[in-house]
Structure 1
Amino acid sequence: MHIAILDDEPAVLAQVSQALTGPWGRHKITLKISTFSSCKELIQATKRHTFDLAILDWELPDGSGLEVLTWFTSYLESPPPVIMLTVRNSEQDVVEALTGGAEDFINKPFRARELKARAIAVLRRRNGPLSVEKGREEDPSHGNIVFDVNRQTLHRDGQPIKLTHQEYRLAFLLFSNLGRPLARAYLYEYVWGKDEQFSSRTLDVHIYRVRRKLGLTPEHGWQLNAVYGYGYRLQEADPSAA
């Protein structure tokens, strides 16, 4: 889970990071937090990284969180859900943020446990129940592909497919984000862990193996493509058009 926090006050960035860090109750989630002090920094980062949630201040030295929200919805194929965290509290501000696409609106000063609870609620609304594998608590099925989350195994057309641990995690993440472009670094960190040195070649080889083993081609109803300069995206395809 990768969360972006935008605020020009270092103390607030530290407080929000601390509020979100640590166990999320029963949700066993590996959390990565990136902090930004300007709109430009965050916008540039979204061109290279995938964020699952963005928490935005309203007033920044080089613009506003609302402008960043507008940029997300205008230029990103799958913008992250947004929580506005600001001292502004008029009804007009709340209406403007929510109609602009924000999922929630929280006033400063904030309560740490409430912020975490609202973040979980936003992610649940967007992605469904949270679990160890950033997916659904029941065994997910996608057409001819069925996952067994507890055993970390996968069946295709009713037959078990032999996958390595990394191949399984890569397949699970791709199917959990159907239609959503995922950055290379995001894929690599989820599959191998943030302590492993990033290798594009390693990721490309595993993408090839998962595509081949699972038949992720148009004739089987799937399309796994590279997104130029960014990463990969898995989406459904029409077999008749293959």
Structure 2
Amino acid sequence: MDRPEKIIVLDDEAELRNMLQRFLTGQGFEVRVVADSKRLDRYLLREPFDLLVLDLMMEPEDGLSVCRRLRAEGQTLPILMLTAKGDPVDKVVGLEMGADDYLAKPFLPRELVARIRALLRRQKMAAGEPTVTSNKVRFGDFCLDVGKQMLTRAGESVEIHSAQMLLLHALGSSPNRPVSRDNLIARTRGRDHDALDRSIDVQVLRLRQIVEDDPSKPRFIKTVWGVGYMLMADIEP
């Protein structure tokens, strides 16, 4: 059974904190609420969270400052910013500081949940979370054994450089789902940094030259504009 997604709420209004905790818990989330950034920092050091709901207007450290600081520290969890202001400038500034979405008070609880679920879906898609770990994926005459990191064509082993194999494995671990460029770079450079070119796009082109009949019109390794790449494949047990 999958664990409930964990959300932490930072808001200095006790009434709103309690309301959000009750409502979001009722929607199936595991929820922590804190009243100031110091408590938030302690929680983030202690356990991982899937999303932060962050109030903009707080003292002594406001939401913009918290957001900017977390991003500067390398914190990547999605941030949904809440504010009583309706000024579009505040929205732009919040997004520029690193927030992923923005919701003005007062808001409908259902809209908050819809935005949270959308951010969580986007995070999973961008992260390219593996959907298979030991299965085989087939595309055309090719078969990738995800667990063994082995590529065959019509049953015969295919010679492939380790850099392209790492890239194919990253795509094959999440077949038919977009994987972001940042995720592909992180998952391929870890073991073979020197073998990779400056751009992940160059590595994709080289991989296409191995598995595509016409690399300029790819059937299997598709470009997902604004996200990254996706391997179109059939999954076998």
**TM-score (norm: length of structure 2):** 0.54
Task: Say whether residues 1:18 and 2:22 are aligned partners.
Answer: yes
Q: Where does residue 114 of structure 2 map in the other structure?
A: 117
> How many residues align structurally?
152
Q: Where does residue 41 of structure 1 map in the other structure?
A: 39
Q: Where does residue 108 of structure 1 map in the other structure?
A: 105
Query: Over aligned residues, Cα RMSD in angstroms?
Result: 3.5
Cα offset, 1:236, TM superposition: 4.1
Check the 8 A contact 1:43/1:68 in 2, yes or no: no
Gap runs ≥5 in structure 1: 25-30, 149-153, 160-174, 177-221, 224-234
Output the amino acid matched with 1:19.
F
Q: Where does residue 67 of structure 1 map in the other structure?
A: 65
Question: What is the DSSP-based 3-state SS (H/G/I as helix, E as strand, rest coil) of the residue aligned with 2:93?
Answer: helix
Task: Say whether residues 1:146 and 2:144 are aligned partners.
Answer: no
Output the CA distance in 2 between the equivalents of 1:69 and 1:239.
31
Output the CA distance in 1 between the equivalents of 2:135 and 2:90.
43
Question: What is the DSSP-based 3-state SS (H/G/I as helix, E as strand, rest coil) of the residue aligned with 1:146?
Answer: coil
Q: Where does residue 147 of structure 2 map in the other structure?
A: 156
Inter-CA distance 7–23: structure 2 relative to 1 (3 Å threshold)? closer
Q: Where does residue 54 of structure 2 map in the other structure?
A: 56
Residues 44-96 of structure 1 show CA distances to partners (whole Å, capped at 9, x for unaligned) of: 322222111000011223210111111111013x4211011110221111110
Cα offset, 1:99, TM superposition: 1.3
Check the 8 A contact 1:19/1:113 in 2, yes or no: no
Check the 8 A contact 2:37/2:61 in 1, yes or no: yes
Residues 17-52 of structure 1 show CA distances to partners (whole Å, capped at 9, x for unaligned) of: 23322346xxxxxx3211110111112322222111
Inter-CA distance 147–14: structure 2 relative to 1 (3 Å threshold)? farther
Cα offset, 1:113, TM superposition: 0.7
Q: Where does residue 85 of structure 1 map in the other structure?
A: 82
**TM-score (norm: length of structure 1):** 0.53
Cα offset, 1:110, TM superposition: 1.4
Inter-CA distance 40–93: structure 2 relative to 1 (3 Å threshold)? same
Q: Where does residue 125 of structure 2 map in the other structure?
A: 128
Question: What is the DSSP-based 3-state SS (H/G/I as helix, E as strand, rest coil) of the residue aligned with 1:73?
Answer: helix
Cα offset, 1:156, TM superposition: 2.3
Check the 8 A contact 2:63/2:81 in 1, yes or no: yes
Output the CA distance in 2 between the equivalents of 1:239 and 1:125.
27
Cα offset, 1:126, TM superposition: 1.4
Check the 8 A contact 1:7/1:60 in 2, yes or no: yes
Residues 13-22 or 2-11, more deviating: 13-22
Question: What is the DSSP-based 3-state SS (H/G/I as helix, E as strand, rest coil) of the residue aligned with 2:26?
Answer: coil
Output the CA distance in 2 between the equivalents of 1:239 and 1:9.
48
* Percent identity (aligned): 30
Output the amino acid matched with 1:35.
V
Output the CA distance in 1 between the equivalents of 2:95 and 2:50.
18
Output the amino acid matched with 2:25.
T
Output the CA distance in 1 between the equivalents of 2:193 and 2:105.
51
Output the amino acid matched with 2:118.
A
Output the amino acid matched with 1:237.
R
The structure with the larger Rg is 2
Task: Say whether residues 1:238 and 2:192 are aligned partners.
Answer: yes
